[in-house]
Amino acid sequence: MNGLVKAEFRKIFTTHLWWALLLPVAVLSFLAGWGGAALGQTDLVLEMTRGQKLPTGLLTMSLSTNNVTVFAVLLGALAVTGEYRQKTVTTTFLTANPRGAVLGAKLIAYTNVALLYGLVNALCSSLGGLVGLGADGFGELPQWLMVGGAGLLSMVLWTLVGIGLGALVTNSVAAVLIILGYLLVFEGMASSALTQTPVSWLTDYLPGEASSGIVGNVSVPMFISDVAGAREPFVSKTAFQLLHSAFGGSYGFPWWGSLLVFVGYAAVFVAGGWLATAKRDIL
Partner 1 sequence: MHDGSGRILVQGLHKSFGPIEAVHNLNFSVEPGSVTGFLGPNGSGKTTTLRMVLGLIRPTSGAAYVNGQPFSRLPNPATVVGAVLDSQGFHSGQTARTHLRCYTAALNLPDQQADRVLELVGLSSAATRKTGGFSLGMRQRLALATALLGDPGILILDEPANGLDPEGIAWLRGFLKSFASTGRTVLVSSHLLREMEHTVDNVVIVSRGRCVYNGGLEQLRAGQHSRVLTRVSDPAALVTLLNQEGMTAEYLPDGRLVIPGTDSGRVADLALRAGVAVQEMQDENLDLEQIFFQLTSGQYTGGVPTGPAHPPPNADPWAPSGHSGPGGDPPGLGQGYQRTSAEQHRHGQDDNGGHGGNA
What DSSP character marks residue 185? I
The span of 1-9, 38-46, 230-238, 251-259 binding partner 1 (CB under 8 A) equals 1-9
The rounded distance, in Å, linking the Cα atoms of 215 and 255 is: 7
The full DSSP string for 83-96 is HHHTTHHHHHHHTS
Examine residue 195 and tell whether it contacts partner 1 (CB under 8 A): no
Examine residue 11 and tell whether it contacts partner 1 (CB under 8 A): yes
- Min CB(93)–partner 1 separation in Å: 6
Q: Which is nearer to partner 1, 109 or 147 (CB)?
A: 109
Examine residue 196 and tell whether it contacts partner 1 (CB under 8 A): no
Q: Which is nearer to partner 1, 97 or 236 (CB)?
A: 97
- In the range 89-108, which residues lie near partner 1 by CB under 8 A? 89-98
What distance lies between CA 186 and its chain's CA centroid?
A: 17
**Of 174, 176, 203, residue with least CA distance to 189:** 203
The span of 80-88, 122-130, 195-203, 258-266 binding partner 1 (CB under 8 A) equals 80-88
- Min CB(105)–partner 1 separation in Å: 8
Examine residue 192 and tell whether it contacts partner 1 (CB under 8 A): no
The rounded distance, in Å, linking the Cα atoms of 165 and 178 is: 9
**Of 283, 274, 281, 279, residue with least CA distance to 80:** 274
Q: How far apart are the first and last CA of the chain?
A: 25
Q: Which is nearer to partner 1, 1 or 202 (CB)?
A: 1
**Of 184, 140, 143, 179, residue with least CA distance to 161:** 179
The rounded distance, in Å, linking the Cα atoms of 17 and 261 is: 29
Residues contacting residue 256 through CB under 8 Å, at least 6 positions apart: none
Q: Which is nearer to partner 1, 93 or 205 (CB)?
A: 93
Examine residue 19 and tell whether it contacts partner 1 (CB under 8 A): no
The rounded distance, in Å, linking the Cα atoms of 121 and 119 is: 5
Query: Of 19, 27, 87, 142, which one interacts with partner 1 (CB under 8 A)?
Result: 87
Examine residue 88 and tell whether it contacts partner 1 (CB under 8 A): yes
Examine residue 86 and tell whether it contacts partner 1 (CB under 8 A): yes
Query: Of 7, 127, 227, 235, which one interacts with partner 1 (CB under 8 A)?
Result: 7
Kindly write out the interface string for residues 38-77 of this chain, putting x where it contacts partner 1 by CB under 8 A and - elsewhere.
----------------------------------------
Examine residue 23 and tell whether it contacts partner 1 (CB under 8 A): no
- Min CB(97)–partner 1 separation in Å: 5
The full DSSP string for 149-177 is HHHHHHHHHHHHHHHHHHHHH--HHHHHH
The rounded distance, in Å, linking the Cα atoms of 68 and 71 is: 6
- Min CB(76)–partner 1 separation in Å: 17
Chain positions contacting partner 1, by CB under 8 A: 2-4, 6-7, 10-11, 14-16, 82, 86-98, 279, 281-283
